[in-house]
Structure 1
Amino acid sequence: MKLLTAEEIALHNQAANMGMIKGAIYGLGVSLAGAAFAKRRFPHLLKKANWQIKTALFVSPIGFGASVVGELESSAFGREQRYGAELTKEKEDEIKRWNSLTLEQKCFHTLNENKFSLLFASWAGVLFGSWKVINRDKILTQSQKLVQARMYAQFATVVLVFGVLGISYYDRIVNPQDFEEENQETRLDKLLADIERQNAEAKIMQMDNQKRLDGKVYKYD
């Protein structure tokens, strides 16, 4: 294991910053598209919302995109620098392991790996669908419609959370190897652990060297 050099740290920061910029641009596109859609389809709701809500809704996709893409770029750079040839072998091992799984194992492994994306997409779909259905009611006011849609979304959230827990539980049964302690660590976690261990070893070496220097006795005639 080698310590990170100043050049490698600078390159890592550059990759992470570029990822954050890309993510912010993606998020800005989502915000602009969402604002145009809301202005065209729900102008009455925009008029009722104060500037704090509007700002939060516009900024949230930008911040989310910057953090997610920045983290992905950082992880990709860490994998490339840390593993090198080992990464190719690891990919080959992953492909072999994937090919050895049954269809059921592949399905639940994929669902478990993407459970949070599935949860968010399902929740957004339920919220949008419930709003479309409730919005047809001509008697309820807009505030009452929002309350009804939120109630449906909250109920759906509870159901979806239990569904995600069920997927994780069943995946633990059909793919027990995924939940071994060694496999629980992500590559980024391993990289950070290696860096911490290297820093600790470097500090120990520095302390040993300092002790040896302090232990020397210099005599002058």
Structure 2
Amino acid sequence: MKIVTQEDLEKHQAATFRGAVEGIATGLAISLPGSWLLHKRVPFYRTLPIQLKALGVILVVGPCYAIQAERRGVQYDMSTWKGAGKDLLDEEEYAEQKRWESLSTNEKIGDWAFKHQYSVISGSWAASMGLAAAIIMKDRNQTTSQKIVQARMWAQGLTIGVLIAAGILTHKARSEAAAHRPVDHSWSQIIEDQQREKKRIAAASR
């Protein structure tokens, strides 16, 4: 078992902080130009209060910040594993690669959607909302307040639709994962590997 030291904690915190900065920078690089483009080309967007525009930026920056911070933290954790622990991670990665290669195209789509379900839900919702907003804003026969009400109704309907579609898409993968949930023997396997290594060293030193 790896003993976590204060230095490890500080390095993990530094890696997480670096990921947070990268995520915020990426989110701002996407949201600010997007907001500027909407302000230039969409008259309705120019009429929105600054609070709503700031909320739009936050809704992009927030997930980017959280995902990248966690990703960097996990990467650092994996880089500290050595010996039997690293061998186990390598074996699991190889087994996952072989499993992925054995899947059909439809199974790969379902497996990917299951692993990235939150990204699929948020991305589908954002794309659907953008398309709906573009269609609604072109209607010159409605007032601004009517367009806002209609956009809200579209948002509610699209949210429910995306959730239902995501549930259907990932139901099979969830069922298979529950039916074939592996028992975690990682620690016992690491101990066995370490014991075999000790015996090999002892035999070689005789």
Q: TM-score, normalised by structure 1?
A: 0.71
Secondary structure of 1:84 counterpart: helix
Q: Does 1:80 align with 2:82?
A: no
The alignment yields a C-alpha RMSD, in angstroms, of 2.5
Aligned residue in 1 for 2:193: none
Whole-Å Cα distance in 2 between the matches of residues 137 and 77 of structure 1?
A: 51
Select the structure of larger CA radius of gyration: 1
Question: Is the alpha carbon distance of 1:109 and 1:62 closer, same or farther for their aligned partners in structure 2, counting shifts above 3 Å?
Answer: closer
- Tell me the alpha carbon deviations over residues 163-185 of structure 1, each in whole angstroms, 9 at most, x when there is no partner: 11112222234x346762658xx
Question: Is the alpha carbon distance of 1:102 and 1:29 closer, same or farther for their aligned partners in structure 2, counting shifts above 3 Å?
Answer: closer
Q: Report the number of matched residues.
A: 182
Indicate conservation of the 8 Å contact 2:100/2:108, yes or no.
Answer: yes
Q: Which of 92, 95, 109 is matched with 2:94 structurally? A: 92
Q: Does 1:169 align with 2:171?
A: yes
Q: Which amino acid aligns with 1:105?
A: E
Aligned residue in 2 for 1:46: 46
Indicate conservation of the 8 Å contact 2:24/2:65, yes or no.
Answer: yes
Indicate conservation of the 8 Å contact 2:35/2:53, yes or no.
Answer: no
- Aligned-residue offset at 1:29: 1.1
Aligned residue in 2 for 1:205: none
Whole-Å Cα distance in 1 between the matches of residues 66 and 31 of structure 2?
A: 15
Whole-Å Cα distance in 2 between the matches of residues 80 and 100 of structure 1?
A: 28
Question: Is the alpha carbon distance of 1:19 and 1:109 closer, same or farther for their aligned partners in structure 2, counting shifts above 3 Å?
Answer: same
Whole-Å Cα distance in 2 between the matches of residues 76 and 179 of structure 1?
A: 27
Equivalent residues in 2 for 1:12-161, closer than 5 Å? 12-49=12-49, 51-82=50-81, 83-161=85-163
Q: Which runs of 5+ in 1 are unaligned?
A: 184-189, 191-221
Whole-Å Cα distance in 2 between the matches of residues 74 and 176 of structure 1?
A: 26
Q: Which amino acid aligns with 2:114?
A: N
Question: Is the alpha carbon distance of 1:125 and 1:163 closer, same or farther for their aligned partners in structure 2, counting shifts above 3 Å?
Answer: same
Q: Which runs of 5+ in 2 are unaligned?
A: 188-206
Question: Is the alpha carbon distance of 1:60 and 1:153 closer, same or farther for their aligned partners in structure 2, counting shifts above 3 Å?
Answer: closer
Identity level (%): 26
Aligned residue in 2 for 1:210: none
Whole-Å Cα distance in 2 between the matches of residues 153 and 80 of structure 1?
A: 42
Q: TM-score, normalised by structure 2?
A: 0.76
- Tell me the alpha carbon deviations over residues 183-216 of structure 1, each in whole angstroms, 9 at most, x when there is no partner: 8xxxxxx9xxxxxxxxxxxxxxxxxxxxxxxxxx
Whole-Å Cα distance in 2 between the matches of residues 52 and 93 of structure 1?
A: 49
Whole-Å Cα distance in 1 between the matches of residues 166 and 180 of structure 2?
A: 16
